[in-house]
Amino acid sequence: MLVLPTEFTQKQASACLRMLVQGLKAEAGPTLVVDATALDRFDSSALAVLLELRRESLAVGKQFAVRGLPARLANLATLYGIAELVPAA
């Protein structure tokens, strides 16, 4: 399982994406689960990174799910029409 940091804004997005993609390569099992329970401060770039990580996961044959997605981020995903792309674990 990969864990998101407490703060995830545009400022951290590129570095965090690189770290998460590296972690994806080390993850065993059929599903990549991203733990978002610690996520406290974020903007829409967190969703962009999750979508890119989902794409990377599917490209290597893994399913993708998010555990503990904060309600505000889930609401943003719904507003953008992409909630089904960040499924709950």
Q: What residues make up the domain containing 44?
A: 2-85
**Per-residue pLDDT of the chain in tens (89 residues, 90 and over written 9):** 999 999 999 999 999 999 999 999 999 999 999 999 999 999 999 999 999 999 999 999 999 999 999 999 999 999 999 999 999 98
pTM: 0.92
> Considering Cα of 67, then 62, then 12, then 46, what sign does the dihedral take?
negative
Give me the amino acid identity at 45: S
Q: What is the pLDDT of residue 60?
A: 95
Q: What is the pLDDT of residue 71?
A: 95
Q: What is the pLDDT of residue 47?
A: 95
Tell the burial category of 20 from Cβ atoms under 10 Å away from its Cβ (0-12, 13-18, 19+).
Answer: buried
How many structural domains does the chain have?
1
Bridge partners (DSSP) listed for residue 2: 34
CATH code, domain carrying 66: 3.30.750.24
